[in-house]
Amino acid sequence: MAAPAVEGAAVAALRSVMFRVRQAAERSGHVSERVRVVAVSKTKPVSLIRQVYDAGHRCFGENYVQEILEKAPQLPEDIEWHYIGHLQSNKVKLLLSGVPNLAMVEGVDNEKIANHLDRAVSSLGRNPLKVFVQVNTSGEASKSGIDPSGCVELVKHVKLQCSNLEFSGLMTIGMPDYSSTPENFKMLSNCRTEVCKALGMVEEQCELSMGMSGDFELAIILKALQLVKMHFDTQEGRRYHQKDLATDNGTF
């Protein structure tokens, strides 16, 4: 009898997050419709994902290849799957071939993985794949992501050398205790400014993915956030982190 209660709590958490997004957007003058929420469902059962799907949510994220390969075929095809965090090059083709509705890879942090993705998309005959470049704004060795100083060159490579990839934006995560959150967010925003200047893009063409359940409102207030990954947990305020996960911030 416990399962329905847990599932109900996950849906309630989703609605709470959406409400907080709207409130933060109103306070900052940001357009709430521009803020997208990705529910990271790693380690959670298909039945729980289905409950949140039935509540109207369509954007989900995973960061384990085997897990998304098992879940995706059991769920509706109109789900927009995001693969989040570091992706091993030897698993690229497996991921792309096994999840036809994979909409985005967040976690491109070097030219090698960009090249592997580009070739796999081409060989599989897929439409161009959206990607986010991951930037390590906190300077932690345990986190994946390119150094901010190399961000522009990596984006140039993706845009100019990887015709089967669609550069969509930048992604980062701050310190686990939120101690450097404002600085991390501002640094990523500065990276966007540099990227747009170097490549002749307008900022609307470069989304920012940052913020967790404890700090996404600050990102919205800074008017820098377009995509947030939320931690939906049945225990209020609880969070999880993985040493190599740049966006472990959206778990049910």
Q: Which two tokens stand for residue 160?
A: 């100019």
For the chain, what's the residue count? Answer: 252
Per residue in 195-211, pLDDT (tens digit) is 999 999 998 899 988 86
Q: What are phi and psi of 208, to 5 degrees?
A: -120, 130
Comparing 9 with 202, the larger pLDDT belongs to 202
Q: CA distances (Å), 11 to each of 22, 68, 81, 93, in order?
A: 17, 21, 18, 33
Query: Which is higher by pLDDT, 235 or 85?
Result: 85
Region 7-27 average pLDDT: 83
Overall average pLDDT of the 159-186 stretch: 83
Residue 138 near residue 124 (C-beta atoms within 8 A): no
Task: Give the Cα separation of 25 and 27 in Å (integer).
Answer: 5
Is 236's pLDDT higher than 50?
A: no
Q: Which fold has domain 2-37+52-72+79-213+223-230?
A: TIM Barrel (3.20.20)
pLDDT in tens, 22-55: 888 788 776 677 788 888 898 899 999 999 999 9
pLDDT tens sequence across 108-156: 999 999 999 999 999 999 999 999 999 998 888 878 899 999 999 999 9
Per DSSP, the three-state class of 139 is coil
More confident residue, 156 or 180: 156
Amino acid at 249: N
